[in-house]
Chains A and B, each alone.
Chain A
Amino acid sequence: MGKGLKIDRRRLLGLGLGAAAAATIAKPAIAQAPTLTVWSGYPEMEPFYRRVAEGLRGRVSGLTVNVQPIPLRQHEQRLALALPSGNAAEVIELGSSTATRYVEGGFMQKAPAAVTTAVRDASRYDPFFARSGSFEGSVYGMPLFRGQGALFYNAEMFTAAGLSGPPTTMAQYTEYAEKLTKRDGSGRPTVTGWSLRLGGGGQGIAEKFWINMHQYGGALVRQNAAGKWSSGYANEAGRRTLAQYLENVHTKRTCLIDSPADAEAFQRGQTAMFIRESWVIGDTAKKAPDLKYATAPLPVGTIVAPVFLYTPATGAKGDLAWQFAMASNEPENLVWLLDNVGWLPNRRDANYAPVIAKTPQLKAFVDMPQGHTLFELPAIGPVEEILTRLAERLVRAFANASLAGNTAGIDAMLREAAAETDQILRREGLYGA
């Protein structure tokens, strides 16, 4: 019995050692199974990346793709920590204005020749995207989709108010807002005529202000011939924009500081019109499928926020990451993206016509009128700080009833804010009048 036990122990030991050796030998084989992690700042993009991964699995056997989307601000924070420490995912989705500092800092990988050729192919992408995804003559980002603003309006409310179409001038925006506002007995709006971004914190407030100011020919920052920057809103365009906000909030009361706002209010029928990006279409299809609404281009032009796919400079899986980026840009995937998520793909040689025919609200985003101008956030380091600080001042100004109709007060507010913007640019060595 004892001897048998001894043999058994030996056998057991031998088996254990054998298993350990086998595991050691097998380990490299397990490690070779390709895995890829995708970091996104838009949770609604998750099914798209899963679809791309599914398609790629047919070409890369055993591929596992982990899609990790989180809200944009947290996404930016994780990148701030992970990229410099070399711990970021292999595929990073990021807007070009935010990515610039990482590209300049050498944290992003240059695109290989095949990707560069594809991105520079004008039949595939507008040269605007090739420029936006490049640095010092090299392509770093694969264009994927873009955020772009347009007017969303409730068709039934427009008809009820006797309005036959969307406003085409900024003066009409206020005029229409007045007609569309529904009020209770005390005159307080129960349905706002025009939902403006008036609070909530963050740079979005300043971005929306910039979109409205663009219609008056203004810009938050301007670049001079020498490539330097300065504030561009303490002027007539800034004054007219802020005056319009204040007129709507305090004088005509078409939208109050505490009114329900944004896409949610639109989907619930609490506002008649507002300016937003194309993702609202996909969102509305899910949350308010019976809502009768239409879209229209803004009077002069709108903001474009292109989003690219990058891979970190330190990544050992660069080839696979670029393969994923290329696959995500295949026409059938992009058509699916437009149809199911609502973000606008940047590739122009795919056939989006069936989707647009099915969802006519997309037309305002792709068929822009002649002379419609686009602008994007400048690719400079302190852009977020400039926007956030201005947003803070704007929130106070929007709530300040004494500024309504007070040109001197508006000018003073804008001058003070512009001085702060210039100071930030000066600090970063970017200022030039």
Chain B
Amino acid sequence: MLRRRLLVFALLALLPTLAVYAWVRIVPIGEVIWLSLHRWNLMSRNKPFIGLDNFVELTRDPLFLDAIVNTTVIAFGVVAVTVPLGLILAALIYHRTRARLAGFYETAVFLPHVVSLVPAAMAWKWIFDARLGPLNAALGWFGIEPQSWLFDPVLAVVCIIVLCSWQTLGFAVVIFIVGMKNVPHVLYEAARLDGATAIQAFRHVTVPMLRPIVLYVSVVTLVSGFNVYAQGFVMASDTQGAPGRLVRVLVLDMLENAFRNYRFGYAAAEAVVLLLVVLGLTLIQFGLLREKGGRS
């Protein structure tokens, strides 16, 4: 009887929070899914139900297909750069925590994460500039021909991966350092007694122990990678001067379809696809990185 009362009390106590969560999280998602099954231009009072027509059209839309390929490459590219590099940097910083400049290293790595995106993207735009950029100048010292970084369809995607990774790396490093601080020292001592080198201890102790942290960082990085938009927009667009190649990504395509083409149902269908892709990939990551018999 007491347990039942406690259960009711707990549910009642949680209800306001759950209601707010449902209102701000679940209802909008439901509305987007519902909208994706309609044709609507924002102004019309008619909103005809068209079933899955928007999704069928998406499969034939070259811009959408281009956007989804670019976005996927960028998202996985950022994870592929950020996670291993973040782990290595975190390990280097962690093992130098007693060094005088440890705080400086942490701050230096984390700083890009808090820098405002637009000025950062503008700075990178200059770095990648085909004529005046320091990157091409540096490559020139090694006899490498200058590259049109922001104009070549492949290199433009690489530039966005570099910018996004530069921004995300600091966050990953900080989280990894926190994780490393929680790894019991006895494990390292045991590894040392077994004759393990520092690299072997990192590979066989640190990395496995950080699995849940790696999962968290890769999920967060992947999701933010799929939401990439402003980085590409700022690096490519310019009302005057030298614009670059605008890399089409999902969010850009969605915005264009909604606010320029006034196809809100169609844009909602794209949002649903993005939701499903991110959800699917997150579940796969959870599956791959989940510890056997334990919680991830």
How long is the Cα–Cα vector from A102 to B43 in the complex, in angstroms? 8
Q: Which of B78-86, B166-174, B178-186, B257-265 contacts A (4 or more CB under 8 A)?
A: B257-265
Smallest Cβ-Cβ distance to B246: which chain A residue:
A201
How long is the Cα–Cα vector from A286 to B251 in the complex, in angstroms? 36
- B-facing residues in A32-71 (Cβ within 8 Å): 71
Which listed residue, A76, A200, A399, touches B259 by the CB 8 Å rule? Answer: A76
Q: Is B150's CB under 8 angstroms from A258's CB? A: yes
Q: Is A199's CB under 8 angstroms from B259's CB? A: no
What are 18 contact pairs spanning A and B, CB under 8 A?
A: A77-B255, A77-B259, A80-B42, A199-B243, A200-B236, A201-B245, A201-B246, A202-B237, A258-B148, A258-B242, A261-B241, A262-B238, A264-B241, A265-B242, A381-B262, A384-B260, A385-B260, A395-B245
Question: Is B63 interfacial (CB 8 A cutoff)?
Answer: yes
Known: A202-B246, A259-B242. 6 other contacts (CB 8 A): A200-B237, A260-B242, A262-B239, A262-B240, A264-B242, A399-B153
Q: Is B240's CB under 8 angstroms from A263's CB? A: yes
Q: Is A199's CB under 8 angstroms from B245's CB? A: yes
Q: How far is the CB of A399 from chain B (nearest CB, A)?
A: 7
Which listed residue, A261, A381, A384, A396, touches B242 by the CB 8 Å rule? Answer: A261
Question: Is A2 interfacial (CB 8 A cutoff)?
Answer: no
How long is the Cα–Cα vector from A381 to B241 in the complex, in angstroms? 30
Question: Is B105 interfacial (CB 8 A cutoff)?
Answer: no
Q: Is B239's CB under 8 angstroms from A71's CB? A: yes
Question: Is B248 interfacial (CB 8 A cutoff)?
Answer: yes
Question: Is B130 interfacial (CB 8 A cutoff)?
Answer: yes
Inter-chain contacts of A264 with B (CB < 8 A): 240-242
Tell me if B's interface is mostly helix, strand, loop or mixed. Answer: loop
Smallest Cβ-Cβ distance to A280: which chain B residue:
B240
Q: Is B261's CB under 8 angstroms from A262's CB? A: no
Question: Is A232 interfacial (CB 8 A cutoff)?
Answer: no
Question: Is A378 interfacial (CB 8 A cutoff)?
Answer: no
Which listed residue, A101, A201, A385, A389, touches B243 by the CB 8 Å rule? Answer: A201
> Residues on A close to B: CB < 8 A?
71, 73, 76-77, 80-81, 83-84, 101-102, 105, 107, 199-202, 257-265, 381-382, 384-385, 388-389, 392, 395-396, 399
Which listed residue, A73, A76, A258, A263, touches B130 by the CB 8 Å rule? Answer: A258
How long is the Cα–Cα vector from A161 to B223 in the complex, in angstroms? 55
Q: Is A399's CB under 8 angstroms from B151's CB? A: yes
Q: Is B261's CB under 8 angstroms from A200's CB? A: no
Inter-chain contacts of B197 with A (CB < 8 A): none
Inter-chain contacts of A258 with B (CB < 8 A): 130-131, 148, 150-151, 242
How long is the Cα–Cα vector from A259 to B148 in the complex, in angstroms? 10
Q: How far is the CB of B226 from chain A (nearest CB, A)?
A: 20
Q: Is A201's CB under 8 angstroms from B262's CB? A: no
Q: Is A382's CB under 8 angstroms from B243's CB? A: no
How long is the Cα–Cα vector from A76 to B42 in the complex, in angstroms? 13
Which listed residue, A107, A199, A388, touches B261 by the CB 8 Å rule? Answer: A388
Smallest Cβ-Cβ distance to A393: which chain B residue:
B62
How long is the Cα–Cα vector from A202 to B153 in the complex, in angstroms? 16
Inter-chain contacts of B236 with A (CB < 8 A): 199-201
Inter-chain contacts of A73 with B (CB < 8 A): 260
- A-facing residues in B215-265 (Cβ within 8 Å): 236-246, 248, 255-256, 258-263
Inter-chain contacts of A395 with B (CB < 8 A): 245-246
Question: Is B116 interfacial (CB 8 A cutoff)?
Answer: no
- A-facing residues in B34-84 (Cβ within 8 Å): 41-44, 63
Q: Is A381's CB under 8 angstroms from B260's CB? A: no
Smallest Cβ-Cβ distance to A107: which chain B residue:
B43
Smallest Cβ-Cβ distance to A283: which chain B residue:
B240
Q: How far is the CB of A404 from chain B (nearest CB, A)?
A: 17
Inter-chain contacts of A257 with B (CB < 8 A): 148, 151
Inter-chain contacts of B240 with A (CB < 8 A): 261-265
Smallest Cβ-Cβ distance to A385: which chain B residue:
B261
How long is the Cα–Cα vector from A399 to B151 in the complex, in angstroms? 9
Q: How far is the CB of B94 from chain A (nearest CB, A)?
A: 42
How long is the Cα–Cα vector from A77 to B267 in the complex, in angstroms? 14
Inter-chain contacts of B241 with A (CB < 8 A): 260-262, 264-265
Q: How far is the CB of A194 from chain B (nearest CB, A)?
A: 16
Q: How far is the CB of A413 from chain B (nearest CB, A)?
A: 13
Q: Is B43's CB under 8 angstroms from A199's CB? A: no
Inter-chain contacts of B258 with A (CB < 8 A): 80
Q: Rank and list the top 8 A-B pairs by shortest CB-CB distance, nearest first.
A: A200-B243, A201-B246, A264-B241, A105-B43, A385-B261, A264-B240, A262-B240, A77-B259
Inter-chain contacts of A265 with B (CB < 8 A): 240-242
Inter-chain contacts of B130 with A (CB < 8 A): 258
